[in-house]
Amino acid sequence: MSKPLLKKKTYGLLAEYDSARAIYHACEQVRDAGYKVWDSHTPFAVHNLDKAMGLAPSVLPWIVFAMGMTGASLAMLLQWWTSTIDYPIVIAGKPYFSWQAFVPVTFELGVLFSAFGAVFGMLGLNRLPMWYHSLFNSERFLRHTDDKFFIAIEARDPKYDPQKTRELLERTGALHIEEVED
Amino acid sequence: MAQYQDELDPITGRKELVEGDHVTFHDVTEAVARPIEVPSSRWWIAFIPSVMLLGVYLISIAYLLYMGTGIWGLNNPVAWGWAIVNFVFWVGIGHAGTLISAILFLFRQKWRTSINRAAEAMTIFAVICALQFPTFHTGRPWFIYWPLPLPNQMEMWPNFRSPLLWDVFAVSTYFTVSLLFWYVGLIPDLATMRDRAKTPIRRFAYGLFALGWRGSTRHWLNYEKAYMILAGLSTPLVLSVHTIVSFDFAVSQLPGWHTTIFPPYFVAGAIFSGFAMVLTLLLPLRAWFKLEHLITIKHLENMAKIILLTGTMVGYAYAMEFFIAWYSGNPYESFAFQNRLFGDYWWAYWIMVSCNVISPQFFWIKRIRRSVVWLFILSIFVNIGMWFERFVITVTSLHHDFLPSSWDYYSPTVWDVSTLVGSFGLFFTLFCLFVRYLPTVAIGEVKSVMSIANPHYHGDASHGEHH
């Protein structure tokens, strides 16, 4: 690319807080200020912080439901086809399609596929794994998995302004604010 | 009871789950991460004997593969011996981990947070041990993939009407889902280990498996949903697994096995034995890793209460089996149960009853529920009793079947014993490796149940606000 190499791009502003209460109220203020491309980073899931950020509910349950139905249907189909069409054999005088006996395997495969949907669906929605992220350039950010709480407002946000955004974050009671490189 | 006054949460008024004055989030991270980063030499005291027992296991299996299953004590009426006993025993152990991680989660039992990680690890290792036995009991374990519905040149399919095949699907699904659930729970804690890592190897290893987790609330939203769904899936799954294991017995026509009480009875027994094993593992762990303020005496007391409940349910099931044997008027059923009490295996039956029915009743006494010594001793008794339960069910029904001319007495050989004892080596070796390299307590989850984690926390009980 023909971009000047010396000028480093800015990812955004990173503000640090030291309690669940502080980040909760700070998120409410950033949400009310109308920012869209921003996030908060916490050592644990702070209760209702998604609502303080104004996030929409997760779509994961729909993925899991679709996967579960697929797994259960495939299991029943497999058992029906193998025991009536491809390899019909009388066992214990039961009908070829003795569906009652096929319930356990149908249930288990439904659960198995649902679990795959839940785990890999969650990772997909979160765009994980992503081993490099701009925020890891910040030394202070390392403590987001320990005891510090962060808000990151990205420079991509249409409302982003290095000065005004910094002032907003200062008003929310941030203990430390820094600009993070992309 | 003034002598058992526990600290209370200033906002909710419930018992504090993390003990100590002004414990910070950082203190929790330190308490869990330090023993991994600066290992104690005491770890070797547990690890070396475990590996030696694992050696016993490997020798037993090597000799088994060389000679065949004839080295075991199996005979003609008793074609299911210790292999199935050990299989059911180990699968049952695993169930407490899932109960803690899934069922207690759905019931919003927040005290589960400091014990779920180790209990889930126990589940996975117990299922690994369980899977050894049917695998080697097949005689030719290199054909263990035959129960899977794979297209093959014989143009045959497995018999989906057989409970043994249901078992294949149930246990393998259970193992896979437990592993996924455990790993999902580990991701934020692996990120903690990554961010604390001082050496490049650690940073790389923890970082690789942490998948670049950065505690984003947008991620937590999907993560918590996934966690709840996995809990919701694991709950019916764990109940189904031991139900299906009990079908191995209940679907057959043998007196003593062919009863409808088996599924709930097996599930209660599984949870009973699993909680005992959780206590057996956690009591030394919390002392050696100095985690007593996270895995508190209240946690142990709660587990003792669950042991008391499920132990009483198991006792009820034993009594109900006898009632039905009499009430059904079926002479074969009645004989099977008389034979259990007073037949050749009377001693096994009475060991089972003393350990499973009598020993948990001590937990009615609060002083015993709060004594680590008593908890440890009673947990060992329950472990022994539940092994004997599976032995009694399997062997007493088989050794005197319908045809008196084929009756026989079954006794194990030294190889049966060494394989069982060795499987504990496999279990403890895996558990030792787990406590050496992975956070034994769910760091993030424990932080989230501390009173300072509540967004409404003011730092002072006098003006806790209510939104």
Using only the alpha carbons of chain A, give its radius of gyration: 25
CA-to-CA distance for B95 and B104, rounded, in angstroms? 12
Name residue A139's amino acid.
Answer: E
Interface touch A47/B457, C-beta < 8 Å: no
Q: What DSSP state is assigned to residue B15? A: B
Chain B 312-331, residues with CB within 8 Å of chain A CB atoms: none
Chain B 328-367, residues with CB within 8 Å of chain A CB atoms: none
Minimal CA–CA distance to B303: which of B259, B273, B347, B258?
B273
pLDDT score recorded for residue B402: 84
Cis peptide before B236 (omega within 30 of 0): no
Helix (H, G, I), strand (E, B) or coil at A170: helix
What count of Cα atoms within 13 Å lies in the side-chain half-sphere of residue B391? 22
CA-to-CA distance for B383 and B15, rounded, in angstroms? 30
Query: Hey, is the C-beta of A37 within 8 angstroms of any chain B C-beta?
Result: no
Minimal CA–CA distance to B282: which of B394, B405, B440?
B440
Minimal CA–CA distance to B25: which of A16, A148, A150, A139?
A148
Helix (H, G, I), strand (E, B) or coil at A14: strand
Whether the CB-CB separation of A58 and A125 falls below 8 Å is answered with yes
Considering chain A, what percentage of its residues have pLDDT values greater than 90?
Answer: 90
pLDDT score recorded for residue B463: 41
pLDDT score recorded for residue B51: 97
Q: Closest Cα of chain B to A63: distance in Å?
A: 10
Residues near B13 by Cβ (< 8 Å), separated by ≥ 6? none
Residue B13 in tokens = 């008024």
pLDDT score recorded for residue B16: 78
CA-to-CA distance for B347 and B361, rounded, in angstroms? 21
Phi, psi angle pair for A11, to nearest 5°: -80, -45
User: Is A151's pLDDT higher than 90?
Assistant: yes
Distances in Å between the Cα of B400 and the Cα atoms of A160, B84, B395, B403 are 82, 18, 9, 8
Task: Out of B157, B177, B188, name the one closest to residue A86 (CB).
Answer: B157
Residue A67 in tokens = 């996967």
Residues near A120 by Cβ (< 8 Å), separated by ≥ 6? none
Look at the block and give the residue holding tokens 């039961």.
Answer: A94
CA angle (B407, B413, B414) in 5-degree steps? 170
CA-to-CA distance for B190 and B442, rounded, in angstroms? 10
pLDDT score recorded for residue A78: 96
pLDDT, tens only, A155-166: 999 999 999 999
Residue A50 in tokens = 């998604």
Q: Which residues of A touch B170 (CB under 8 A)?
A: 104, 108
Chain B 202-241, residues with CB within 8 Å of chain A CB atoms: 207-208, 211-226, 229-230, 233, 236-237, 240
Closest residue in B to A28 (Cα–Cα): B455
Considering chain A, what percentage of its residues have pLDDT values greater than 70?
Answer: 96
CA-to-CA distance for A104 and A22, rounded, in angstroms? 50
CA-to-CA distance for B257 and B249, rounded, in angstroms? 5
Whether the CB-CB separation of B113 and B136 falls below 8 Å is answered with no
Helix (H, G, I), strand (E, B) or coil at B71: helix
pLDDT, tens only, A58-80: 999 999 999 999 999 999 999 99
CA-to-CA distance for B306 and B406, rounded, in angstroms? 42
pLDDT score recorded for residue B1: 47
Domains and their CATH numbers in chain B: 19-141+156-462 (1.20.1630.10)
Whether the CB-CB separation of B230 and A118 falls below 8 Å is answered with yes
Give every residue of chain B whose pLDDT is below 50, as ranges. Answer: 1, 461-467
Task: Out of B196, B208, B455, name the one closest to residue A20 (CB).
Answer: B455
pLDDT score recorded for residue A1: 47
Mean pLDDT of A115-131: 95
Q: Which neighbouring-strand residues pair with B15?
A: B8
Helix (H, G, I), strand (E, B) or coil at B328: coil
DSSP B391-441: HHHHHHHHHS-S-GGG-------HHHHHHHHHHHHHHHHHHHHHHHHS-SS
CA-to-CA distance for B213 and B187, rounded, in angstroms? 7
Look at the block and give the residue holding tokens 């080596």.
Answer: B425
Task: Out of B149, B211, B215, name the one closest to residue A145 (CB).
Answer: B215
Q: Closest Cα of chain A to B6: distance in Å?
A: 25
Alpha-carbon torsion, ordered B319, B324, B326, B331, to 10 deg: -130
Handedness of CA B65, B71, B74, B80 (dihedral sign): negative
Minimal CA–CA distance to B363: which of B317, B319, B313, B306?
B306
CA-to-CA distance for B270 and B219, rounded, in angstroms? 35
Residues near B313 by Cβ (< 8 Å), separated by ≥ 6? B264, B265, B268, B272
Q: Which residues of A touch B445 (CB under 8 A)?
A: 44
Look at the block and give the residue holding tokens 């006098």.
Answer: B462
Q: Indicate the domain borders of chain A.
A: 10-57+133-181, 60-125
pLDDT score recorded for residue B8: 76
Residue A43 in tokens = 């050592």
H or E segment and range at residue A11: strand A10-17
pLDDT score recorded for residue B76: 86
Q: Say what angle helices B25-37 and B414-437 make with each other, to 10 degrees.
A: 130
Look at the block and give the residue holding tokens 């086809």.
Answer: A81
Of A8 and B71, the one with more pLDDT: B71
